[in-house]
Amino acid sequence: VKQDRVVRVALLGFGTIGSSVYRLIQKEHDQILEGTGVDLRVAKVLEIDMSKVPTDAEPSVFITDFSEVLSDPTIEIVVELIGGTTTSFDFVDAAMRNGKDVVTANKQLLASRGQALFSLARDEQRHLRFEASVAGAVPIIKVMRESMVAAELHTVYGIVNGTTNYILSRMYNEEGDYPEILAKAQELGYAEADPTADVGGADAAAKMAILASIAFHSRVTLTDVAFSGIQGITLEDVRYAKGLGFVPKLIGAARLLDGKVSVRVFPALLPADHPLASINGSNNAIFLQGDAIGEIMLMGPGAGGVPTATAVVSDIVSIVSTNEVGFLQSCSCYRQLELYPSEDVESAFFIRVSVADRAGVLALIASAFGEHEVSIASMIQKGRGDEAELVLITHPTKERQFFAAVEKAKSLECCQSEPMTLRVL
């Protein structure tokens, strides 16, 4: 006989995601109950900005004092949707110490202060789930943790930031320049007023830290991730790339190399027939590679209140459905691997540089690269008045050697601009 299980949750924060979770739980209450036996109820919503509280809201539900959540023993699960890394940390910490399981969508919190929170979760035997922190509605955390137990993942890479993907897709498709497309993205709500965290790569870096920690069972924090963003990419770069059959994307890549962990975020050029090249707009897509599975890919909306809310709700139901064995599985950083030095990673590169338009220049540049054992796969040279533009694609090479070669090339008198470099996948 089916026994319904009442589960009372508290939402901390009633912004885009918080209000979406609230409404989704109301709308899907019966469906969730029928499908899972979980009778899900929002018992409290903590929101200090009264202008956000719906006018038809039950006054006893909307509160401004977090202690009301802690002191209510009927609340099992606290959903942290405040953002930031200070108040949110204190609330998550206090919730677990008060016997409550936690769901959060806060990637910055996990990537910067996750270690302390996961240790506490383990000590207190509390669940700490965070599906919504990476790739919105795409259930990448559950898949990695529960479906890949025998897969021996060695690589996780893909597109984990919707804002930059939107901007790069439009730059590519419409041949628009970066500042203009960024302004449009902000106007349409695809980029924030201060877009630094997205366009600079820090948002993707936090997500990759989380994904790498799960994939390799070794805690990776934001400071372990080498990241760069898309701000330096010009329409010129995009056009050259397109002409060579490449599409620009911001890529997050986590790899096990010689038993060490390499986690990086960088703008890269992908061959136009690469499956990630066709991921347009604000979608996210992540490849998992492992000895036993070959390659699996998950794709879907990386942001948006309602899609992200589905991930929060699935975390709540997962907590309620999991026993103590499953609990152990969710604290699975059981080792601490060293970091692989970024400059030893092998990559192919695209370089664009202005050079003096005269005979012998190519030979000079080529020998600068040759000296550092960087071999060139293809080259385009275009005259533009008394200077020329040189575009090179290298074969894969240790990044240390490549950047040494670039330094050498820069020191040449014929080199007339700061070289633009992009990795090539």
Q: Are 107 and 82 in contact (CB under 8 A)?
A: no
**Structural tokens at position 148:** 């890949």
In terms of CB distance, is 38 or 70 closer to its own copies?
A: 38
Least Cβ distance, residue 128 to its own copies (angstroms):
16
Q: Phi-psi category of 84—alpha, beta or left, where left has phi over 0 and alpha has psi -120 to 50?
A: left
In terms of CB distance, is 10 or 25 closer to its own copies?
A: 25
* One of 270, 311, 361, 415 touching its own copies (CB under 8 A): 311
Q: How far apart are CA 338 and CA 347, in angstroms?
A: 20
Residue 130 amino acid letter? F
* One of 94, 298, 339, 362 touching its own copies (CB under 8 A): 298
| 182: contact with its own copies by CB under 8 A | no
The DSSP bridge pattern shows strands 387-394 and 376-384 to be antiparallel
| 257: contact with its own copies by CB under 8 A | no
* The one segment of 21-29, 177-185, 347-355, 390-398 that binds its own copies by CB under 8 A: 21-29
**Is 207 labeled as catalytic in the residue annotation?**
yes
Q: How far apart are CA 361 and CA 388, in angstroms?
A: 10
* One of 205, 233, 313, 392 touching its own copies (CB under 8 A): 313
**Structural tokens at position 264:** 């990086």
* The one segment of 60-68, 310-318, 361-369, 403-411 that binds its own copies by CB under 8 A: 310-318
CA 140 vs. chain centroid, Å, equals 11
Residue 388's Cβ-side half-sphere holds a number of Cα atoms within 13 Å equal to 17
| 297: contact with its own copies by CB under 8 A | yes
| 256: contact with its own copies by CB under 8 A | no
Q: Are 350 and 374 in contact (CB under 8 A)?
A: no
* One of 299, 353, 390, 406 touching its own copies (CB under 8 A): 299
Q: How far apart are CA 75 and CA 100, in angstroms?
A: 7
State whether residue 176 is helix, strand or coil. coil
* Whole-number Cα distances in Å, 395 to 248, 264, 284, 351, 369: 18, 20, 28, 12, 11
Instruction: Count the residues in the chain.
Output: 425
| 217: contact with its own copies by CB under 8 A | yes
- Catalytic residue chosen out of the listed positions 207, 242, 249, 410: 207
In terms of CB distance, is 40 or 345 closer to its own copies?
A: 40
| 373: contact with its own copies by CB under 8 A | no
| 142: contact with its own copies by CB under 8 A | yes
* The one segment of 233-241, 246-254, 299-307, 355-363 that binds its own copies by CB under 8 A: 299-307
* One of 104, 262, 310, 421 touching its own copies (CB under 8 A): 310
For residues 117-136, which are near its own copies according to CB under 8 A?
131
Q: Which residues of 126-139 are buried (b: 16+ CB within 10 A; e: fewer)?
A: bbbbbbbbbbbbbb
In terms of CB distance, is 143 or 197 closer to its own copies?
A: 143
In terms of CB distance, is 94 or 296 closer to its own copies?
A: 296
| 371: contact with its own copies by CB under 8 A | no
| 194: contact with its own copies by CB under 8 A | no
- Determine the Cα angle at 210 with ends 204 and 215, to 5°: 120
* Sequence-separated (6 or more) residues with CB below 8 Å from residue 121: 96, 102, 127, 128, 331
* The one segment of 56-64, 84-92, 262-270, 296-304 that binds its own copies by CB under 8 A: 296-304
* One of 275, 363, 367, 373 touching its own copies (CB under 8 A): 275
Q: How far apart are CA 260 and CA 168, in angstroms?
A: 31
The binding site for its own copies (CB under 8 A) comprises 2-3, 5, 24-25, 28, 31-32, 34-38, 131, 137-139, 142-143, 146-152, 217, 273, 275, 278, 292-301, 304, 306-307, 309-311, 313-314, 317-318, 320-326, 328-329, 332, 334-335
Residues with a catalytic annotation lie at 207
